[in-house]
Structure 1
Amino acid sequence: MRTDLAWALANSDLIHDRATLERAIARMAARIRNDHAGSVPLMLTVMHGGMPFAARLAMELGAHRFDVEFDYLHATRYRGRTHGGELVWKARPTTPLRGRRVLLVDDIVDEGHTLDAIVRWCRAQGAADVRIAALSVKAHGRCVPGVCADYVGVEVPDRYVFGYGMDFHGQGRNLPAIYALKE
């Protein structure tokens, strides 16, 4: 398989365009605001994929006059590969989690192994509540039991997807839409 972005775009289907994703994020922001009313949750962006989605979600929350505190983490099982391996922590949040409501923000819930480890770590750090906001969720039955997004933007097919934070061999994270390679 070729690994250049031009090839990937030519051999992909557009799954969700920018307008669709922005409407989904706006709906998610309203739900998050309602569910977290009266608190200032700690919004932890899962790097790198969660960054574009987290930035847009944060602006939508701000448009609702809802405040969040920011931090990030970088935990990966992929390290440039297309399949996961052992979890590696590249950066942990510096904000103490004890007693906090935590909102993990990521680009996708695929099988959930990485998010499962992150959620368990947050709870071990004393987080009072941990919820997941995912821009996309893959449609399949292979998820880690108990790992699901509390706030979901869109569903994507069980194919190689990229764009809006998700990469194609390190490329295309900044595409304002989600694509899936043709089967």
Structure 2
Amino acid sequence: MPNRTDMSEVQRAMAEADCIVDAAGVQKAMDDMAVAITARLKDSNPLVFTVMNGGLVFAGQLLPRLHFPLECSYLHATRYGQTLNGTSLLDWRVRPTQDLRGRSVLVLDDILDEGYTLVAVMEHLRSEGAKEVMCAALVDKRHDRKAQPGLRPDFYGIEAPDRYLFGCGMDYKGYWRNAPGIYALKDH
């Protein structure tokens, strides 16, 4: 029988969590991001990729705020533990199928934590001929373990402490992606 998540533990995690940013703060951050993204991409006919599964909730709330024509799709990749020539190897669950040559590409994800997977995804999109590749993350976690020194999203809404976060696409053991705010696990 497969391991099942203890639902009382999942409920307790939320009950004891620290609210880092409430729902209103998240909505304000998304409004501000939409203004910045619109100013930068409104005339570029961008292709916007959502990184599954974490980026789903974020993209679902951000995309309707972008009042300009764009194409949207999704991709799903996870990172293998090892690297080859300093580049993270990806396990592609769903690869981009669009022709990227000459396109402006925006990648949406819930959080930029260390960023190894995001960097590898963006490098892949560039290698497929994208004119420019940018990323937008709802949360940029503050710490010094980034995949590259000084790595930051091109657009982000919230700077968060180096804690275990969930809500707005980020999960706790597969749950609470749907929480409307950003929460930190107690004592983590």
- For the criterion TM > 0.5, the same-fold answer is yes
How far is 1:10 from its partner? 2.1
Aligned-partner residue type, residue 157 of structure 1: P
Pick from 154, 163, 168 the counterpart of residue 158 of structure 2: 154
Instruction: Please list the CA deviations of residues 21-64 of structure 1 after superposition, one character each: whole Å capped at 9, or x if unmatched.
Output: 11111111111111113222101000000011111110111xxx
Task: Tell me the number of residue pairs that the alignment of Structure 1 and Structure 2 aligns.
Answer: 174
Residue 176 (structure 2) aligns with: 172
For residues 172 and 87 of structure 1, do their structure 2 counterparts lie closer, same or farther at Cα, with a shift above 3 Å needed? Answer: same
Q: Which has the larger radius of gyration?
A: 2
Equivalent residue number for residue 81 of structure 1:
none
Runs of 4+, deviation exceeding 3 Å: 1-4
How is 1:2-151 mapped onto 2 (pairs within 5 angstroms)?
4-61=9-66, 65-77=67-79, 87-145=90-148, 147-151=151-155
* Residues 2 and 37 (structure 1), Cα distance of their counterparts in 2 relative to 1, 3 Å cut: closer
| DSSP-derived class of the 1:143 partner | coil
1:4: Cα distance to partner?
3.2
Change in 2 beyond 3 A, CA 1:175/1:166: same
Letter in 2 for 1:59: P
Give the letter for the 1:74 counterpart. Answer: H
The residue type equivalent to 1:97 in the other structure is: L
The 10-residue stretch of structure 1 (33-42 or 134-143) with the greater mean CA deviation from structure 2: 33-42
User: What TM-score do the two structures reach when normalised by structure 1?
Assistant: 0.89
**Secondary structure of 2:62 counterpart:** helix
- Provide the residue aligned with 2:85 in structure 1: none
CA contact (8 A) 1:163 1:175 kept: yes
Compared CA separation, residues 154 and 3, structure 1 to 2 (3 A): farther
> How far did 1:96 drift?
1.3
**Kept in 1: contact 2:50–2:74 (CA 8 A):** yes
* Fraction of identical pairs, as percent: 47
Query: 2 CA distance for matches of 1:87 and 1:160?
Result: 23
**Distance of 1:2 and 1:156 partners within structure 2:** 26
What SS does the aligned partner of 1:165 have? coil
Aligned partners of 2:109 and 2:59: how far apart in 1? 7
Distance 1:113 1:2, change over 3 A: farther
